[in-house]
Amino acid sequence: MNEPTVEKTETILDVEGMTCANCAIGVENQLKKLGADEIKVNFALGEASFIAPNSISADEIAKGITQIGYKSRIREHDIDEKQGLSSIEKKFWFSLIFTLPLITHMFLPHDSFIQNPILQAFLAFPVFILGVFHFGKSGLSSLRTGAPNMDVLIFIGSASAFFYSSWGAYTFYGTPLTHDFLFFETSASIVSLVLLGNLLEHRSITKTTSAIKDLSAMQVKTAMRFNSNGEPEEITYNAIQIGDLLLVNTGDVIPIDGIIMEGNGTIDESMVSGESIPLNKEKGDKVVGSTILTDGNIIVKAEAIGRNTVLSKIIDLVKNAQQDKPEIQRLGDRISAIFVPIVLGISLTTFLLSKFGFDLSTQQSMLQAIAVLVISCPCAMGLATPTAVMVGIGRAAKKGILIKGGSTLEELAKTKTIIFDKTGTLTTGKFTIKSLNVIDGNEQEIIDVLFNIEGRSAHPIAKSIVENLKEKAKAIALSDIEEVKGIGLSATDEMGNNWKVGSYRMASELTDDKLHEVYILKNHKLVATLDIEDEIKPIAKEMIAELTHQGIEIILLSGDKQSKCDDLAQTLNIQTIFAEQLPEEKLAKVQEYSSKGNTVMVGDGVNDAPALARANVGISFGDATDVSINTAQVVLLGTNGIDKLTEALHLSRLTFKTIKQNLFWAFFYNVLAIPVAAFGFLSPIIATATMGLSDIVVIGNSILLKVKK
């Protein structure tokens, strides 16, 4: 007798403390040791998913992750609400409380109470210990991989300053020489400044979770299901089963993916297809969950629920796209990978040569070796990126360009390809009349009838037609006005003529031409057709021309019809077009171009969310959907945000150039100062003073970014 198979469910852990890819590898390895299957670890989202084996429970696996240093708990909802300050925020504010009093000692007289070595050591010690646990773990992980990162330098700089100060305070306590050896504020400042940079990056990453949360919020909470007596009753979304019959009325959100069993209506599917015009659907047509029934009444049979719905798949696409995005390797880290071992080697060599080569005292040899470490303190390097980023982001914000995180600036500066969605991005989303094609009859009469009959409809196309014709048409009397759901309207004029205005289905028996949006019939004879088009944003053509002039490849990627995309591309002079694309197809195209070079995706709809997440940089607009705003790394504000795209690219290049200049001066300072310190010509106190000068140079260059052209 076969045992019944039990479907194993996926468990998602919220894992706190993962700050890099190395952390994610450590969590993944621990999950493998515990026997978990189908493991996915995402340090950006702070989560790990797996299938627990029969031999161990999910709770025990969560405890196993906590044991290796990462606070872990099972997620009970799709997106847990996290109250209060995050871990990195707590660490930053904790360090700042102790660091600020330490910094004041540089501006107060020698007899001030803050100059007391014991008090300074007391203030610096908590910050130093925090730095050991926060940066030491990351630095150790990078050393294990053979590529030392910035955290190694941060730890060495903070530790050398702290221990040197502790040694000086102990050795010369009570003497005037004591103050020449106190650099506790340097130790604490390094930790606090870099934590500030980490905090800014953390706030950028949390937008990812917001995007997924917004997607989840689109799912309805309840639905109307027909019970065994054939009466509709309200049930929760989780109670819906495959095969259930659900009632959906005008204005309702369709609960699940399914097929229409009865009725017809107009459905806005822009969140999935990007199609700018609501679609008319009837019995036998498929519908997608979380789309909106703008007009009509339908009964839908549930065909896909839970993780198998289109919306759930979009959420997974967003998650996977962000997980697959390669980690940006900062310039400072690349320099540090070479710089760290060289500094350690020079420091050790300085001590050995001073002691055994030049026969100096142990104390003097130690002083020169420690001076090398102090002079190599990465304070200027630590300031190089965050100061430029803060100024660059601030300047952009004043221009209505919201940039989420410093890494976005770097990626944006390297842009090779820009992929544009169509509706709401290059077009306004409003419709204009492209042409009225009169086949038979009087054009003015047709305009008058069209204006008056469409004025009785709430359909988006009808409203646009009325708006476009209000200056040309005049009011006429119509009677027997009747709406045929999903098809169009019919009416009778004062002369007794019967008029019909609607979709191709209304004229299907009279013509095989399906290429028009609206058909007008008089006394059952086709007398005119109407073509409409999306209104192009005023600045779009000039912007595309400017980007093309800069050598950037421009691509149109849309879920809209091929003919509409071709017309728009011809107007804007875009050579590469991909039309009628579903979300997963958009994602595949973005992934393809991203593999060739830095790719920017510009979009505004829910269906663009996976592509926005997968691109090197996703760009959306302030009036776009919440999902696209939170998924994108750049948000352009204003009524016509697209005109700020070229400015965003320009500012990103300026900022990235400033970062490289800052890193050069910070590194150049070390290259010159380390040999001077190694030969004993630079005491630690002078080294610290000159180190402050390098900080001023870096900060000053960043401030100049406010006015750079």
> Are residue 522 and residue 435 in the same domain, yes or no?
yes
151, 421, 493, 560: the catalytic one is: 421
Full domain range(s) for residue 25: 10-74
Digit-coded pLDDT (tens) for 267-304:
887 665 555 567 788 888 888 888 888 888 899 999 98
Q: Which of 311-315, 401-405, 631-635 has the lowest mean pLDDT?
A: 311-315
Digit-coded pLDDT (tens) for 75-107:
765 444 455 567 778 888 999 999 888 877 766
Cα 492 from chain centroid (whole Å) = 54
DSSP string of 214-257, one letter each residue:
HHHHTS-SEEEEE-TTS-EEEEEGGG--TT-EEEE-TTPBP-SE
247 pLDDT tier (thresholds 50, 70, 90): very high
Digit-coded pLDDT (tens) for 482-527:
877 667 889 999 999 999 998 888 888 898 888 888 999 999 999 9
Helix, strand or coil, per DSSP, at residue 669: helix
> Are residue 545 and residue 643 in the same domain, yes or no?
yes
Report the alpha-carbon distance of residue 386 to residue 585 in Å, rounded.
37
Strands (E), 165-311: 222-226, 232-236, 245-248, 257-268, 279-281, 286-287, 292-304
CATH of the domain at 493: 3.40.1110.10
> Are residue 436 and residue 545 in the same domain, yes or no?
no
Measured in degrees and rounded to the nearest 5, phi and psi for residue 382 equal: -65, -30
CATH of the domain at 267: 2.70.150.10
Report the alpha-carbon distance of residue 370 to residue 362 in Å, rounded.
12
> Are residue 29 and residue 50 in the same domain, yes or no?
yes
The verdict on residue 195 lying in a domain is: no
The verdict on residue 346 lying in a domain is: no
- Given 535, 562, 594, which residue is the final one in a domain? 535
**What separation, in Å, do the N-terminal and C-terminal C-alpha atoms of the chain show?**
79
CATH of the domain at 587: 3.40.50.1000
> Are residue 569 and residue 600 in the same domain, yes or no?
yes
> Are residue 406 and residue 432 in the same domain, yes or no?
no
**Closest by Cα among 68, 92, 78 to 47:** 78
- Given 269, 284, 308, which residue is the final one in a domain? 308
2 pLDDT tier (thresholds 50, 70, 90): very low
For the stretch 305-312, contacts whose Cβ atoms lie closer than 8 Å and that sit 24 or more positions apart, written own/partner, are 305/240, 305/241, 305/242, 305/256, 305/257, 308/257, 309/256, 309/257, 310/257, 310/272, 310/583, 311/215, 311/218, 311/219
**Closest by Cα among 141, 127, 154 to 69:** 141
DSSP string of 570-637, one letter each residue:
HHHT--EEE-S--HHHHHHHHHHHHTTS-EEEE--SGGGHHHHHHSSEEEEETTS-HHHHHH-SEEE-
pLDDT at 367: 64
The verdict on residue 485 lying in a domain is: yes
pLDDT at 692: 54
318 pLDDT tier (thresholds 50, 70, 90): low
pTM above 0.75, yes or no: no
The verdict on residue 622 lying in a domain is: yes
The region that residue 325 occupies, defined by phi over 0 for left and psi between -120 and 50 for alpha, beta otherwise, is: beta
481 pLDDT tier (thresholds 50, 70, 90): confident
> Are residue 465 and residue 598 in the same domain, yes or no?
no
Q: At what angle do helices 362-375 and 150-171 cross, to 10 degrees?
A: 140
Number of domains the chain contains: 4
Q: Under a CB-based contact definition with an 8 Å cutoff, are residues 91 and 154 in contact?
A: no
R_g of the chain, CA atoms, integer Å = 33
Structure tokens at 236: 């929760």
Look at 146 and 111; give whichever has higher pLDDT.
111
Q: Is 37 a catalytic residue?
A: no
pLDDT exceeds 90 at position 438: yes
Look at 645 and 333; give whichever has higher pLDDT.
645
> Are residue 419 and residue 544 in the same domain, yes or no?
yes
Mode of pairing for the β-strands spanning 617-621 and 634-636: parallel
